[in-house]
């Protein structure tokens, strides 16, 4: 296996090379039809989350004459049990889901990296302790734990929801980072740095961290899709107070209050949030492949 | 649980099983302690609340203490360590306290009544998904360069990630409303009297089809993908080539492949049991099944803390034990993990 140069001096003078590298990276995201579609979906959802709630009034209008209307020009996705536009519900509901997923991703990445790097580099008793901790986090069933936690902690806001999902979901990433760190620790360039007297903290940050990055993308993406399912699931079951509309709230009302499951005409109302969740997670999973190649040029087949 | 650490591999099997069992029990103790302190941390302290409510209702302090101890399995107004020891002692005797919302019914009884619904459905779901997923995985591996194999792999990849509430809602909508061939809600037709008769049994079976299908579909992808990669790696092994070159019958070779490719599936079994117990919360909520997940969700909604901690503990213990068992079984069937 070829060794990645950990601290290769970037060619600042060669602007031509820079441009080619940037073009190569754009091609990673847009070069294949699947990835181009995934990038498009991700950008669309991001715009929806940022601008969507501003496009509609805070309280969406209801229309008693238009209950469960079929899709039309005025209501592209039809209407719900009160005659509210389903597209409006989907768009306004996206902000919460994406915001808490982003927080969950950040918390998972920081915790998983810290634990994995510390355990892998330190070895010995700290490693044993951190891995036992990781075992506990991985073994205790996460969703029942979230249900129990919801009774003592009201994590309705996206930041708190992301925090709690991140804190219960870092196990897989930590273990992957640890096993990479273990093998990197024995490599020549790390040994050389140690021999030169570089302090451990700096070795981890400068020599090991950049080489671990390629392995993070896939694990992080798995944690984030898991976090999205869990947060939507919590709202779907109705154990977290509803502050604002989101896709989980939509599903909860549709299934448990509006009896959409037994209404044949509620197809779009029931399917819209489900399809959005699927599209978002599918796009993220597809893009994690691109992220792998972005960090790890050896995987590129261009 | 992990299999890292080279020194683990030289332990004899019995000692290894003992160590795994001990770590399993340590984890159970950790979770039990966690739930104990969780209830003490609850906003408004439900234990003290119960005690004061009883006092206001005219009980003497001694009576109120006894009533609260009966509900929660520990005695208020005692130093925390004493309460903790008392709680663990009661747990050791499978006394989980009494439910608040079902007045005075022991939590253990409620759980014993709910568990069969969950266990039967989860086990059927695991069996069906294993049978279908693992055989599809073998097919996908053998035909990996043909369209049928590629299609199977795609089906596994698509179903692998889909959350259980989505599968449950979609199945319910498809087969009870859009194409109404199966009944929806409740574990059996409530107009029938429960008993050992044909119509009732039929009703139980038809009501169980969709939940079992939901469990099975949510596990299918994991089995398929693991089995496929495992079979492919075994197919490339030298001993398979040697067996083929010696002119062994294809059926014998297939048996060699199957025996070796089954090993990683044990890990999937442990993972999927944990996954299914978590999923039972969604599947039982959608299909109205009075199982463990339903009971946990119900107790959370009603803030019935003794029932909630009891159900959570039972689910967690089941998952931890499944992990320990799979771990020990793995060492047992694969001698390579013992002898390094």
Query: Cβ contacts (< 8 Å) between A267 and chain B: which residues?
Result: 178
Return the pLDDT at B77.
Answer: 62
Answer yes or no: do B42 and A151 touch at CB < 8 A: yes
Q: Which residue has the tokens 């568990």?
A: B115
User: Out of A147-151, A295-299, B103-107, which region has the weakest mean confidence (pLDDT)?
Assistant: A295-299
Percent of chain B with pLDDT over 70: 88
Is residue A111 over pLDDT 90? yes
Of residues A6 and A81, more confidently modeled: A81
Calculate the alpha carbon distances from A204 to A8, A108, A219, A292 in Å: 16, 19, 20, 21
C-beta of residue A99 within 8 angstroms of C-beta of residue A158 = yes
CA atoms B296, B300, B304, B306: torsion sign = positive
- A47: CB partners within 8 A, 6+ apart: none
Is residue B74 over pLDDT 70? no
Is residue A50 over pLDDT 50? yes
Model confidence at B163, in pLDDT bands (50, 70, 90)?
confident
Model confidence at B13, in pLDDT bands (50, 70, 90)?
confident
Return the pLDDT at A106.
Answer: 92
Mutate which of B5, B278, B323 to test chain A, going by most A C-beta atoms within 10 A? B278
Model confidence at B6, in pLDDT bands (50, 70, 90)?
very low
Closest residue in A to B184 (Cα–Cα): A262
Q: Which residue has the tokens 């019995």?
A: B14
- B216: CB partners within 8 A, 6+ apart: B124, B125, B128, B129, B132
Buried b (16+ CB within 10 A) or exposed e, B285-314: bbbebbbbbbbbbbbbeeebbbbbbbbbbb
- On the 0-12 / 13-18 / 19+ scale of CB atoms within 10 A, A51 is exposed
Identify residues of A whose CB sits under 8 angstroms from chain B CBs. 131-132, 135-136, 139-145, 147-148, 150-152, 175, 179, 225, 229, 232-233, 236-239, 251, 255, 261-264, 267, 270, 274, 277-278, 281-282, 285
Return the pLDDT at B205.
Answer: 81
* Structure tokens, A200: 């451990």
Answer yes or no: do A236 and B282 touch at CB < 8 A: yes
Q: What is the pTM of this model?
A: 0.81
Answer yes or no: do A281 and B172 touch at CB < 8 A: no
Q: Helix (H) and strand (E) counts for chain A?
A: 12, 0
* Structure tokens, A176: 């992957």
Return the pLDDT at A103.
Answer: 93
Compute the distance between CA of residue A102 and CA of residue A107 in angstroms, rounded to an integer: 9
Nearest to B291 by CA among B137, B46, B124, B95: B124
Query: Cβ contacts (< 8 Å) between B170 and chain A: which residues?
Result: 274
Return the pLDDT at A108.
Answer: 93
| Most confident of the following: A142-151, B8-17, B323-332 | A142-151
Is residue A5 over pLDDT 70? no
Nearest C-alpha of chain A: how many angstroms from B150? 17
Return the pLDDT at A115.
Answer: 93
Of residues B259 and A193, more confidently modeled: A193
* Structure tokens, B225: 């993908």
Answer yes or no: do A274 and B43 touch at CB < 8 A: no
Model confidence at A299, in pLDDT bands (50, 70, 90)?
low
Is residue A104 over pLDDT 90? yes
Answer yes or no: do A139 and B323 touch at CB < 8 A: yes
Is residue A218 over pLDDT 80? no
Q: Helix (H) and strand (E) counts for chain B?
A: 13, 0
* ipTM score of complex: 0.80
- B296: CB partners within 8 A, 6+ apart: A144, A147, B281, B308, B311, B312, B315
Query: Cβ contacts (< 8 Å) between B308 and chain A: which residues?
Result: 148, 151
Is residue A14 over pLDDT 60? no
Query: Cβ contacts (< 8 Å) between A251 and chain B: which residues?
Result: 165, 169
Give per-residue pLDDT as tens, B329-339. 877 777 776 65
Answer yes or no: do B312 and A131 touch at CB < 8 A: no
Calculate the alpha carbon distances from B116 to B111, B112, B162, B320 in Å: 9, 7, 26, 19
Answer yes or no: do B300 and A239 touch at CB < 8 A: yes
Compute the distance between CA of residue A213 and CA of residue A170 in angstroms, rounded to an integer: 15
Model confidence at B328, in pLDDT bands (50, 70, 90)?
confident
C-beta of residue B296 within 8 angstroms of C-beta of residue A144 = yes
Model confidence at A11, in pLDDT bands (50, 70, 90)?
very low
| B316 vs A: CB within 8 A | yes
Mutate which of A129, A148, A255 to test chain B, going by most B C-beta atoms within 10 A? A148
| B183 vs A: CB within 8 A | no
Of residues A131 and A58, more confidently modeled: A131
Tell me which residue in A135, A140, A270 faces B2 most closely, judged by beta carbons: A135
Compute the distance between CA of residue B233 and CA of residue B141 in angstroms, rounded to an integer: 9
Nearest to A87 by CA among A245, A288, A262, A205: A245
Model confidence at A162, in pLDDT bands (50, 70, 90)?
very high
The phi and psi torsions of A166 (rounded to 5 degrees) equal -65, -40
Of residues B93 and A98, more confidently modeled: A98
Compute the distance between CA of residue B337 and CA of residue B3 in angstroms, rounded to an integer: 9
């Amino acid at each position: 296996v070829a060794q990645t140069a950990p601290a290769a001096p970037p060619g600042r003078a060669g602007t031509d090379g820079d441009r080619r590298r940037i073009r190569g990276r754009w091609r990673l995201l847009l070069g294949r039809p699947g990835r181009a579609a995934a990038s498009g979906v991700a950008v669309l959802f991001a715009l929806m989350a940022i601008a969507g709630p501003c496009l509609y009034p805070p309280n969406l209008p209801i229309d008693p004459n238009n209950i469960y209307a079929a899709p039309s020009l005025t209501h592209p996705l039809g209407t719900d049990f009160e005659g509210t536009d389903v597209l409006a519900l989907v768009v306004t509901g996206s902000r919460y889901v994406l915001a808490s997923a982003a927080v969950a991703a950040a918390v998972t990445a920081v915790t998983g990296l810290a634990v994995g790097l510390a355990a892998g580099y330190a070895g010995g008793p700290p490693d044993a302790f951190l891995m036992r901790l990781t075992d506990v986090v991985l073994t205790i069933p996460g969703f029942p734990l979230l249900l129990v936690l919801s009774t003592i902690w009201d994590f309705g806001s996206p930041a708190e929801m992301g925090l709690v999902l991140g804190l219960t979901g870092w196990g897989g990433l930590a273990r992957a980072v640890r096993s990479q760190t273990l093998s990197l620790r024995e490599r020549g360039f790390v040994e050389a740095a140690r021999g030169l007297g570089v302090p451990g903290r700096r070795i981890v940050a400068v020599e090991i961290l950049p080489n671990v990055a390629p392995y993070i993308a896939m694990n992080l993406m798995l944690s984030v899709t898991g976090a999205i399912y869990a947060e939507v699931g919590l709202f779907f079951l109705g154990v977290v107070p509803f502050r604002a509309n989101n896709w989980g709230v939509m599903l909860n009302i549709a299934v448990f209050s509006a009896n959409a499951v037994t209404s044949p005409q509620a197809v779009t109302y029931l399917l819209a949030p489900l399809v959005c969740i699927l599209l978002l997670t599918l796009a993220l999973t597809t893009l994690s492949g691109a992220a792998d190649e972005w960090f790890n040029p050896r995987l590129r087949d261009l | 649980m992990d299999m890292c650490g080279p020194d683990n591999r030289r332990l004899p099997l019995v000692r290894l099983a003992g160590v795994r069992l001990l770590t399993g029990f340590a984890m159970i103790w950790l979770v039990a302690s966690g739930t104990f302190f969780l209830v003490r941390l609850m906003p408004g302290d439900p234990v003290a609340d119960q005690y004061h409510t009883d006092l206001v209702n005219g009980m003497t302090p001694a009576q109120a203490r006894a009533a609260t101890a009966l509900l929660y399995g520990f005695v208020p107004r005692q130093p925390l360590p004493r309460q903790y020891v008392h709680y663990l002692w009661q747990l050791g005797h499978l006394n989980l306290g009494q439910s608040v919302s079902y007045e005075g019914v022991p939590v253990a009884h409620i759980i014993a009544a709910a568990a069969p619904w969950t266990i039967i459905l989860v086990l059927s779901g695991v069996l069906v998904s294993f049978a279908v997923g693992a055989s599809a995985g073998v097919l996908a591996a053998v035909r990996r360069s043909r369209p049928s194999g590629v299609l199977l792999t795609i089906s596994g990849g698509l179903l692998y990630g889909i959350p259980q509430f989505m599968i449950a809602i979609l199945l319910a909508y498809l087969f009870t409303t859009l194409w109404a061939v199966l009944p929806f809600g409740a574990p059996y037709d409530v107009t029938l009297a429960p008993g050992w008769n044909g119509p009732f049994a039929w009703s139980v079976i038809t009501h169980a089809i969709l939940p079992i299908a939901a469990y099975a579909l949510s596990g299918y992808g994991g089995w398929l993908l693991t089995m496929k990669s495992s079979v492919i790696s075994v197919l490339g092994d030298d001993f398979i080539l040697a067996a083929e070159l010696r002119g062994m019958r294809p059926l014998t070779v297939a048996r060699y492949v199957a025996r070796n490719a089954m090993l990683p599936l044990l890990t999937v079994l442990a993972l999927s049991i944990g996954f299914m117990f978590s999923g039972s919360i969604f599947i039982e909520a959608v299909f109205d099944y009075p199982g463990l997940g339903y009971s946990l969700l119900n107790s959370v909604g009603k803030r019935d803390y003794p029932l909630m901690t009891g159900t959570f503990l039972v689910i967690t213990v089941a998952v931890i034990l499944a992990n320990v068992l799979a771990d020990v079984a793995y060492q047992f069937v694969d001698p390579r993990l013992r002898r390094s």
